[in-house]
Amino acid sequence: MSRTSLLIRYLLLINLITFIIRWVDKYKATAQKRRISEKNLLICTALGWRLGAVIGMQAFRHKTIKGKFLTKFRLIAGAWIVLTIVLLFSL
């Protein structure tokens, strides 16, 4: 199996997990249960680009107006964009 194939599988899996974690956190928020920490939400975003996080945020209207969280989220997203560009041009 090639590196590219492994990377694509990893990114698909981590983005699916990130999406599910957003859904679980939104459910816990509405049920007034103990929530998933913002730190852990951001770690999931940092581990695998940001697609699953963005889709989860929009689908569940979750963490879309929290200023500090969005700033950190955007910094992580920007870092992934830069990393992706660097990797694309180095191949």
Domain edges within the chain: 3-90
3-state helix, strand, coil split of the chain in percent (to 5) is: 80, 0, 20
Q: Give, for all 91 residues of the chain, the pLDDT tens digit.
A: 787 788 889 889 999 999 999 999 999 999 999 999 999 988 988 887 778 888 888 888 878 788 898 899 889 988 988 988 887 787 6
The answer to whether 54 and 60 are in contact (CB under 8 A) is no
Looking at residue 16, its pLDDT comes to: 93
pTM: 0.79
Cα 4 to chain centroid distance, Å, stands at 20
